[in-house]
Amino acid sequence: MKTINDFNFKGKKALIRVDFNVPLDADFNVTDDNRIEAAKPTIIKVLEDGGSAVLMSHLGRPKGQANADMSLKHLCNKVSEVLGVEVKFVAACVGAEAEKAVAELKTGEVLLLENLRFHAEEEKGDKAFAEELSKLGDIYVNDAFGTAHRAHASTTIIAQFFEDKKCFGFLLAKEIEAIEKIMRTGEKPVTAILGGSKVSSKITIIENILDKVDHLIIGGGMTYTFIKAQGGKVGNSICEDDKMELALDILKQAEAKGVQVHIPVDVIAADDFNNNAKTQVVDVMAIPDGWEGLDAGPKTLEIFKEVILKSKTILWNGPVGVFEMESFAKGTIAIGDYIVEATENGAFSLVGGGDSVAAVKQFGFEDKVSYVSTGGGAMLESLEGKVLPGIAAILD
């Protein structure tokens, strides 16, 4: 696996695919610069070697049309602030204007190209567009894990124009290594904690990781499909009736492979889906009519704690309750605490997937686990066992 450490960029222009698809407020200020911070080490390495950096990214979904609200010029000040280097901007990403801006770039300088998705060819994976982009750098660096599952011109097709001059940036290399630890190289016991509302969205992940894990913790809304499938009463809890057979099949597969599955034994039930609802702790197999399970119960958390603290490799994908409401956040916070404790004791912990990443940030666990993935969809597809086109293009 070639990474940015395999190259010296002295006198070279690095064409870096970053993921600067960041949120902006009404005044076009960046409200969360995590993705920019994540790309910083790669960009700084190029500059410290004595090279210059040409950055390309998308922002939003302009659908192949120029849209002033989604121009990357809005990011220039924030990227300059994060890098500590004044970032230049060019209002094009291909063609004469872009090529001129790159030609004038001096050692130690950074140039940000305009939004790639102002061109429909980007998402179509158009080869001619990728070739135009390839003229803007000597070495191609992919550091955009968040888009590595898309075979777009700038993430995949472009790599063929850089035979042996292509590599992963630090961020993408870290993402690949983190997933490798879960799927192949991690120390046992390996535990996967899967939460979220639906079994249907996690099926392929569950089926793919059953060969890799020793323990599977099921939490969140998925719980109730498994419980109802086993004859339990779930009241008004979220439940996918059409996935009950599948839930039973997953349990059979797990048993056949020697994987211990841990499903909640009690839950915090509420008489309404709101933060001020009446609540009670109930047996998960006997949730009363008119009540719904919204968080893991105390006995459940004790069981989960024991499993997590014995684990050496941990994947957390999905909350175990409706953590957005304070009354039902205790279970998710407790899971975070257990993972932090296990990490402090030497376990490797990977958190990925939109809601669990949001939870670790909200509750201050971000710097206390081993790795927080930046790529929601890309990480999920990796866990499903798919080879991501953006990664395959560099390895090819």
The Cβ-side half-sphere exposure at 106, using a 13 Å CA radius, reads 2
pLDDT tens for residues 297-321? 999 999 999 999 999 999 999 999 9
pTM: 0.87
Residue 184 assigned ligand-binding role: no
35 carries a ligand binding annotation = yes
> In sequence order, which residues have a C-beta less than 8 Å from that of residue 307 and are 6 or more positions away?
191, 215, 217, 260, 262
* Catalytic residue (one of 2, 198, 305, 368): 198
Whole-angstrom Cα Rg for the chain: 23
Catalytic residue among 124, 354, 368, 386: 354
Which of 64, 108, 377, 385 does the annotation list as catalytic?
A: 377
pLDDT at 110: 98
What domains does the chain contain, in order, with CATH numbers? 4-168 (3.40.50.1260), 177-383 (3.40.50.1260)
Quote the pLDDT of residue 59.
97
Q: What is the mean pLDDT of the chain?
A: 95
Catalytic (active site) residue 354: yes
CA atoms of 155 and 144, how far apart (whole Å): 8
Using 50 as the pLDDT threshold, list the residues of the chain that sit under it: none
21 is in an annotated binding site: yes
Structure tokens at 291: 């009540």
Has 61 been labeled as part of a binding site? yes
Distance in angstroms (rounded) separating the CA atoms of residues 155 and 57: 10
Distance CA 340, CA 353 (A): 18
What SS3 class is residue 161?
A: helix
Active-site option among 35, 78, 174, 181? 35
Q: Would you say 20 is a known binding-site residue?
A: yes
- Token couple for 41: 């080490």
* 288 upstream amide cis, omega within 30 of 0: no
Axis crossing angle, helix 170-180 with helix 34-49, rounded to the nearest 10: 120
202 is known to lie in a ligand binding site: yes
Q: Is 337 annotated as a binding residue?
A: no
Report residue 121 as tokens. Answer: 């060819």
Q: What is the pLDDT of residue 3?
A: 96
Active site residue 198: yes
Residue found by looking up tokens 């809005």 in the block? 74
- The phi and psi torsions of 129 (rounded to 5 degrees) equal -65, -40
Sheet strand arrangement including 139-142: 87-90, 110-113, 52-56, 13-17, 139-142, 166-168
Predicted local distance difference test score (pLDDT) of residue 354: 65
